[in-house]
Amino acid sequence: MSEVKKIATRESYGNALAELGATCPNLVVLDADLAGATKTGIFKKAFPERHIDCGIAEGNMIAVAAGLATTGKVPFASSFAMFAAGRAFEQVRNSVGYPHLNVKIGATHAGISVGEDGATHQCNEDIALMRTIPGMVVLNPSDDVEARAAVKAAYEHDGPVYLRFGRLAVPVINDREDYKFEIGKGVVLREGKDLTIVATGLEVAESLEAAEKLAADGIEAKVINIHTIKPLDEELIVAAAKETGKVVTVEEHSVIGGLGSAVCDALSEKAPTKVLKIGMNDVYGESGPAKVLLEKYGLDATGIYNKIKAWL
């Protein structure tokens, strides 16, 4: 059996921007002195006249992007999630969100899988922050195929979009030929009758593996990939909750304010259901190899399996 291809979604982001740049002359990419890490350097190499390095000044970068959007450009402002969503939150809220400008925020190195960069750079709060901004679309793709599709969908969407990408190479689980990305629509990857696992980002692949482990114990889990956290596919999640009676959310993010909170908001109103939220439990991360950290915090397939088994 051949090994599953793995690629970091930040790589997908850079490649997708370069591909779009060839046919979209109004696309402009901004970076905060991290073109090599965010992979926007791929776009810079192809279209240097449309790449702007704003230096280590993320708030200013967002303000520049907002200005460019008012002239008809479609700017993708890029930095680590901790800086794009955290340090520049005020500018994102007031300069992009409030006037509802057509700015796309490409946030890489999200979650604890940043690894050795440590707790200060491991942003587990960005989804919560971006969800609170009125009119902001929040996308968190699971693999290379989905990440490329998300960049294209963000470009075509009229309004602000926050895109979340990772540093760690993750398995390609979607089919490039058949895959269709639609903002606000979740994807059922596995059918099951005993519980529903709702996952996002790199946790989708881990959840699929956890579901296989559960199946070996006679527990059939439906697995739903939520690449759009806002607007959330409430209809799909509510239907699954009614069908299986139990829901587990899995995210590489704090359990406060992220996917789990969004799902609970929807279910509490439309289909009260028992929910287990798996994520970072109100703690900071720490420095260490990404895979070791995912294992320590129970966010790898085995950790997810063990938590679900204990809960059941």
Pair 34, 150 in one domain: yes
Q: Above pLDDT 90, what percent of the chain?
A: 97
Same domain (yes/no): 13, 130: yes
Asked whether the CA dihedral 113, 115, 119, 122 is positive or negative, the reply is negative
Q: Three-state SS for 47?
A: coil
Catalytic machinery residues: 58
Average pLDDT, the chain: 97
Cα distance between residue 219 and residue 192, in whole Å: 8
Element of type H or E holding 7? strand 6-8
The answer to whether position 138 is within a domain reads yes
| Residues recorded for the chain | 312
Determine the Cα–Cα distance for residues 114 and 117; give it in Å rounded to an integer: 6
Q: What distances in angstroms separate CA 306 from CA 113, 157, 211, 244, 310, one per listed residue?
A: 20, 39, 11, 19, 6
Number of domains in the chain: 2
In a domain, 12, yes or no: yes
Distance CA 292, CA 312 (A): 26
At 176 the pLDDT is: 74
**CA-to-CA distance for 39 and 42, rounded, in angstroms?**
6
What CATH number corresponds to the domain at position 226?
Answer: 3.40.50.920
CATH of the domain at 112: 3.40.50.970
Residue 146 sits at the vertex; the CA angle it makes with 144 and 147, to the nearest 5 degrees, is 65
Domain's final residue, options 121, 146, 171: 171
**Shared domain check, 85 and 215:** no
In a domain, 133, yes or no: yes
Phi, psi angle pair for 285, to nearest 5°? -80, -160
Tens digits of residue pLDDT in 176-231: 778 899 999 999 999 999 999 999 999 999 999 999 999 999 999 999 999 999 99
Distances 200 to 49, 91, 218, 232, 249 between C-alpha atoms, Å: 35, 26, 24, 12, 8
Average pLDDT over residues 82-101: 98
Same domain, 147 and 194: no
Q: Is residue 181 a part of any domain in this protein?
A: no
Question: Does residue 51 lie in a domain region?
Answer: yes
**191 and 51, same structural domain?**
no
> What pLDDT, in 10s, does the model give residues 103-133?
999 999 999 999 999 999 999 999 999 999 9
Residue 139 in domain = yes
Burial of 218 per CB tally in 10 Å (0-12, 13-18, 19+): exposed
**What are the pLDDT digits (tens) for 264-276?**
999 999 999 999 9
41 & 162 share domain:
yes
For residue 30, tell me if it sits in a domain. yes
Domain finish residue from 120, 146, 171 = 171
Q: Clarify whether residues 153 and 255 are in a common domain.
A: no
150 contact partners, CB below 8 Å, separation of at least 6: 139, 141, 163, 181, 227
Give the residue from 112, 142, 171 where a domain finishes.
171
Looking at the fold, whether 80 and 195 belong to one and the same domain comes out as no
> Do 23 and 108 sit in the same domain of this protein?
yes
- Expressed as residue numbers, the domain containing 264 is 187-311
What are the pLDDT digits (tens) for 135-179? Answer: 999 999 999 999 999 999 999 999 999 999 999 999 999 987 788
User: Is residue 231 domain-shared with residue 259, that is, in the same domain?
Assistant: yes
165 and 237 in a single domain? The answer is no
* pLDDT score, position 3: 65
CB 91 within 8 A of CB 62: yes
Which residue's entry shows tokens 């939220």?
Answer: 277
Q: Indicate the pLDDT class of residue 1, thresholds 50, 70 and 90.
A: very low
* Cα distance between the two ends of the chain: 33
Q: Within this chain, do residues 158 and 195 fall inside the same structural domain, yes or no? A: no
Q: Which of 118, 53, 66 is nearest to 97 (CA)?
A: 66
User: Would 1 be classed as within a structural domain?
Assistant: no
